[in-house]
Amino acid sequence: MGAPDNEDQNAWEAAATRKTFCVDGDGAGQRLDRWLSEVIGASLSRSRIQSLIRSGSVMGEGRAIVEPRHRIAEGETYTLTVPQAEPAEPEPEAIPLDILYEDEALVVVNKPAGLVVHPAPGNWSGTLVNALLHHCGSSLSGIGGVKRPGIVHRLDRDTSGVMVVAKTDNAHRLLSEAFADHGRSGDLQRAYVAVVWGSPDRMSGTIDAPLGRHAQSRTLRAVVPAGRSDARHAVTRYQVRRRYGADGAGNAFAAQVECRLETGRTHQIRVHMAHIGHPLIGDQDYARAFRTKVNRLPEEIRPIVAAFPRQALHARLLAFRHPESGELMEFVADPPSDMSELTRALDIL
């Protein structure tokens, strides 16, 4: 038996579904999980199928098959039961969202600063996930058997900008693969606008420095030796777009920098820019040594810079291939008003 038609695929995890498949000659000798993945198609990820097998959701020859590696034979029949998607644990909340694009497979949002992406201890409500549960409602078909939005990448709470979120299991799988690949073999692009203290000597450059746990804090990251057990490869490319208060020697009080990620590590841009001596204005974690620098600013702009409440970082551009159509999609969101006010103040330097 072949894969379900499109109508069946859309319903796989929206309600309890039971399908029976018969092994033909092409399937004989294959692993059960691989064969089911082929006959079902892209509507269920292979990892989801493996989970269903282990939970006893596949019956074959009168018994439950619980081993994904089970070898199948021609003429055997297997029944897969996909339970109805469980309600998501986070509660839907009517939080306003800036939706840049939406279809049946995904939604693209312009996340404001201050909005946590995913519920976690200390932030069980008021998150982007809560907002998307309310906004998307029944259009969520289930990610891994749960009616929830599929988070494939994150922005820090105090970083604003463009994010894509999956609405189906298939979109979640394909987008996750694209982000894990960091665009090395595809068309994924991510560009950020940052406002930093000082300015790099060169107008463009690449920061290739592995990141790991910070020695004094489990929530922070630091540049660490490549051989350390927790070291993760991290590469950021930067381009200086504007210098503020530059003198004849090219020194500047601050700069606006575009950063493009070749990897996607926690706090990557923030740590990398601090590593080369130019941390982000407003960064309470990685720019503490620069707090007194604000006292050297002209009095008329000093309060604006001193009061900037977050790291000056905005995800301006996101480009990727649509997981269903293959269309190259590109979304751009200008920096929000707080960053615009900050750069206008720095313009007088």
Q: List the one residue out of 235, 339, 208, 329 whose CA is nearest residue 282.
A: 339
User: What single-letter DSSP state applies at residue 290?
Assistant: G
Query: Is residue 292 within 8 Å of 302, Cβ to Cβ?
Result: no
Distance, CA of 341 to CA of 269 (rounded, Å)? 22
Helix or strand run (H / E) with residue 37: helix 32-40
The beta strands (E) that lie in the chain are given as 17-22, 58-60, 63-64, 77-82, 86-87, 99-102, 106-111, 146-147, 150-151, 160-166, 189-197, 204-208, 211-213, 221-223, 235-244, 254-261, 313-321, 328-332
Residue whose pair of structure tokens reads 């008003």 in the numeric block:
337
| Beta-carbon contacts of residue 43 (< 8 Å; ≥ 6 apart) | 4, 8, 9, 10, 12, 168, 169, 170
Residue 236 CA: distances (Å) to CA of 160, 190, 258, 311? 18, 11, 10, 17
> Pairing between strand 313-321 and 160-166?
parallel
DSSP labels for 39-63? Answer: HH-TTS-HHHHHHHHHTT-EEETTE
Catalytic position from the list 33, 156, 158, 169: 156
Known active-site residue 169: no
Distance, CA of 103 to CA of 10 (rounded, Å)? 13
Q: Which tokens sit at 251?
A: 């020194």
Residue 249: what are its φ and ψ, rounded to 5°? -90, 0
Query: Is residue 325 within 8 Å of 171, Cβ to Cβ?
Result: no
Catalytic sites, residue numbers: 156
